[in-house]
């Protein structure tokens, strides 16, 4: 089964959120799965496009620059902040963001 870019992003974002919820507890975050579910494919691609336009943030794994992405939805900025506080989650988190950017870049 071939997924569209939007479907792929939705699936992988949901996977990332499930992982973060498992690690941090669902009560420590907003309802991020609902947030992703309510976005259409274009909106998800737009959010990833913000990351792509600022890919140096991901390359350098810069938490401070990530927090300053002004057009990033607050729900995701909160997720980023929650993960920042858990160093053991950093590598996998940055790999997720790189994957999102790679998918948009290659579509």
This prediction's pTM: 0.92
DSSP at 76: H
Assign residue 25 a region (left: φ > 0; alpha: ψ between -120 and 50; beta: otherwise). left
Q: How many angstroms separate the CA atoms of 24 and 27, rounded? A: 8
What sign results for the dihedral spanned by CA atoms 99, 101, 105, 107? positive
Q: What percent of the chain has pLDDT over 70?
A: 98
Is residue 1 over pLDDT 70?
no
Q: Do 21 and 79 meet the contact criterion of CB atoms below 8 Å apart?
A: no
What sign results for the dihedral spanned by CA atoms 66, 72, 78, 80? negative
The model's pLDDT over 48-63, given as tens digits with 9 standing for 90+, comes to 999 999 999 999 999 9
């Amino acid at each position: 089964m071939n997924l569209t870019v939007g479907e792929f992003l939705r699936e992988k974002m949901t996977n990332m959120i499930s992982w973060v919820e498992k690690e941090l507890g669902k009560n420590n975050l907003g309802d991020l799965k609902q947030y992703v579910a309510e976005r259409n494919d274009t909106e998800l691609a737009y959010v990833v496009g913000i990351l792509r336009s600022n890919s140096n943030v991901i390359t350098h794994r810069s938490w401070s620059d990530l927090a300053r992405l002004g057009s990033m939805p607050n729900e995701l900025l909160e997720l980023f902040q929650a993960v920042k506080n858990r160093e053991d989650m950093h590598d996998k988190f940055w790999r997720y963001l790189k994957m999102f950017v790679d998918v948009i870049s290659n579509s």
